[in-house]
Amino acid sequence: MIVIDNVHKAFGPKQVLRGVSMLIPEGETTVIIGRSGTGKSVLLKLIVGLLEPDEGTITIDGRRVDLMSESERYQMRRRFGYVFQGAALFDSMTVADNLVLGLYEHGERNTEVLREEVVRNLVNVGLLPDPRTVSASVFNQAYEILANKKPAELSGGMRKRVGVARALVGSPEYIFYDEPTTGLDPITSEQIDDLVAALTHKLDVTSVVITHDIFSVYKVAHTVIMLDEGLIRFRGTPLELRSSHDPVVHEFLERYAHSHAEVP
Ligand SMILES: Nc1ncnc2c1ncn2[C@@H]1O[C@H](COP(=O)(O)OP(=O)(O)OP(=O)(O)O)[C@@H](O)[C@H]1O
Ligand SMILES: [Mg+2]
């Protein structure tokens, strides 16, 4: 379990997080919502260790991150998969190379191992069929076509899936998604929501999703956390969110409710 205790973070004079405390239960999907610029991505970067808090602590399975040695932190980061805001794939690299870049940097050179990881995770995100359901030659053909494509040759939804597949490489226990549906049309957004929800169960991982998309909240969240002005404004289930009487919560729901959203 990840425990965030009284975390503060400023950039120069700009105080972004002002004392955030929360815990991320295992095996569930926690969704973080909040207005643009309120510190959601900063919070995610603090959790995964891309940024350091000015004050407060982050504890993972009972171990304080700030007290870990370099090698412990390195090991810990390998337990995290991160789907960056806006996919962030390398345009000059093929799909396969984008996926294995992290493993390669960690010293993995066995081409069979690398290919296995690419195959397994492209199947996991639904970009390739389950190899048990098609003939080997059809599967290999589909693999070769996709693995050798460059990100620019893919649709927005496919790029998101590749970004998710890359985060899954190395079998992380935690997957962090930063705005996985932003910029996608409603149908593709829903497919990505379905994927996020399915992966939490199928791979038995803990997921943390940042989103503006209120439809995603109802689709994937076990717990919703709303950040506002550097503090946690709301924590509860999606149903509790919907019935909240907090005017700030209300305003957010009104503003970000997509017209296509069928709120339960
Ligand atoms: N590395 C950085 N250096 C300086 N300021 C930063 C840095 N990272 C974030 N900020 C500032 O911190 C504030 C919060 O940024 P953050 O990216 O967390 O917002 P967000 O809630 O993710 O917004 P959005 O919904 O638009 O992605 C912003 O004002 C941003 O400019
Ligand atoms: Mg952000």
The answer to the question of residue 192 being in a domain is no
Please report the pLDDT score of residue 86 as a whole number. 76
- The closest alpha carbon to 44, from 185, 175, 136, 166, belongs to 175
Is the distance from the beta carbon of residue 181 to the nearest atom of ligand 1 less than 6 Å? no
In a domain, 74, yes or no: yes
Contacts of 79 (CB under 8 A, 6+ apart): 172, 173, 174
Structural domain includes residue 195: no
CB of 40 within 6 A of ligand 1: the answer is yes
Cα of 255 from ligand 1 centre, angstroms: 20
> What is the rounded CA–CA span in Å between residue 144 and residue 101?
18
| Residue 34 lies inside a defined structural domain of this protein | yes
- CA of 37: how far to CAs of 75, 126, 134, 165, 228, in Å? 30, 32, 46, 27, 9
With the most atoms of ligand 1 within 8 angstroms of its CB, the residue from 41, 210, 212, 233 to mutate is 41
Co-location of 155 and 88 in the same domain: yes
pLDDT given at position 263 = 43
Amino acid at 8: H
Would you write out the chain's pLDDT as a tens digit for each of its 264 residues?
999 999 999 999 999 999 999 999 999 999 999 988 999 999 999 998 889 999 999 999 999 998 999 899 888 888 999 998 876 899 999 999 999 998 888 888 899 999 999 999 999 999 999 999 999 999 999 999 999 999 999 999 999 999 999 999 999 999 999 999 988 899 999 999 999 999 998 999 999 999 988 889 999 999 999 999 999 999 999 999 999 999 999 998 888 765 444 444
Same structural domain for residues 133 and 98?
yes
Indicate the number of domains in the chain.
Answer: 2
Q: Answer whether 0.75 is exceeded by the pTM.
A: yes
Indicate whether residue 230 lines ligand 1 (CB < 6 A). no
User: Is the CB of residue 87 less than 8 Å from the CB of residue 158?
Assistant: no
Minimum CA distance residue for ligand 1 atom 16: 39
User: Of 122, 154, 171, which residue sits at a domain end?
Assistant: 171
Residue 258's pLDDT is 53
**Atom 9 (ligand 1): residue with closest C-alpha?**
42
Dist. CA 143 → ligand 2 center (Å): 33
The reply to whether 73 and 94 lie within a common domain is: no
- Which of 124, 149, 171 is where one domain is finished? 171
Q: Collect all residues with Cβ–Cβ distance below 8 Å to 64 and sequence separation of at least 6.
A: 57, 58
Closest to 20 in 3D by CA, of 44, 1, 36, 37: 44
* Contact by Cβ (8 Å): 149, 92: no
Ligand 1 pocket test: pick from 40, 85, 208, 210 the residue with the most ligand atoms within 8 Å of its Cβ: 40
Residue 45 three-state SS: helix
Same structural domain, 84 and 163: yes
Q: Are 98 and 190 in contact (CB under 8 A)?
A: no
Same domain for 99 and 70: no
Mutate to test the pocket of ligand 1, among 20, 38, 51 (most ligand atoms within 8 A of CB): 38
Does residue 184 lie within any of the structural domains? Answer: no
Distance CA 249, CA 257 (A): 12
Q: How far is the CA of 60 from the centre of ligand 2 (A)?
A: 23
Same domain, 49 and 88: no
Same domain? 11 vs 44: yes
Query: 63: alpha, beta or left, given left = phi > 0 and alpha = psi -120 to 50?
Result: beta
Does 185 fall in a domain? no
Q: Provide the residue range defining the domain that includes 251.
A: 1-78+205-264
Same-domain status, 71 and 3:
yes
End-to-end CA distance of the chain: 29
pLDDT reported for residue 28? 94
Q: Are residues 17 and 73 in the same domain?
A: yes
The CATH number assigned to the domain holding 32 equals 3.40.50.300
Nearest CA to ligand 1 atom 31: 37
Q: Note whether residue 200 is domain-resident.
A: no
Kindly state whether residue 186 falls inside one of the protein's structural domains: no
